[in-house]
Amino acid sequence: DTGVSQNPRHKITKRGQNVTFRCDPISEHNRLYWYRQTLGQGPEFLTYFQNEAQLEKSRLLSDRFSAERPKGSFSTLEIQRTEQGDSAMYLCASSRRDSLLGTDTQYFGPGTRLTVL
């Protein structure tokens, strides 16, 4: 299967602990996105990488959040000193711009569901 994969699928942690999630994008995709989704809402943009460069960060991404994509392939999202409000589904998506059509279609992974107790 060559889709986007995310690990772990579920994470339960105590408030104040650090957590790290991993995303492996579709191999030929150079763009990678992180989103957060809570109940009843659509995915909310967190950050975006083109290759290894982090080009954009949402103001939702507080200083407790950090994301990396060291070799332009897989990416990690770390949350330090987790809070109960961080409980959500964290989604990763990847894409490659269609130079002919000028469009960019994102393909999502299954998500990591974080529960902070």
Rule CB under 8 A: which residues touch another protein?
4, 6, 31, 33, 35, 40-45, 48, 50, 55-56, 91, 93, 101-111, 113
Please say which residue, 38 or 62, places its beta carbon nearer to another protein. Answer: 38
Q: How far is the CB of 67 from another protein (least distance, A)?
A: 15
End-to-end CA distance of the chain: 34
Q: Rounded CA gap, 99 and 110, in Å? A: 27
Phi-psi label, residue 16: left if phi above 0, alpha if psi -120 to 50, beta otherwise: left
Judged by DSSP in three states, 84 sits in: helix
Please say which residue, 33 or 65, places its beta carbon nearer to another protein. Answer: 33
Please say which residue, 76 or 110, places its beta carbon nearer to another protein. Answer: 110
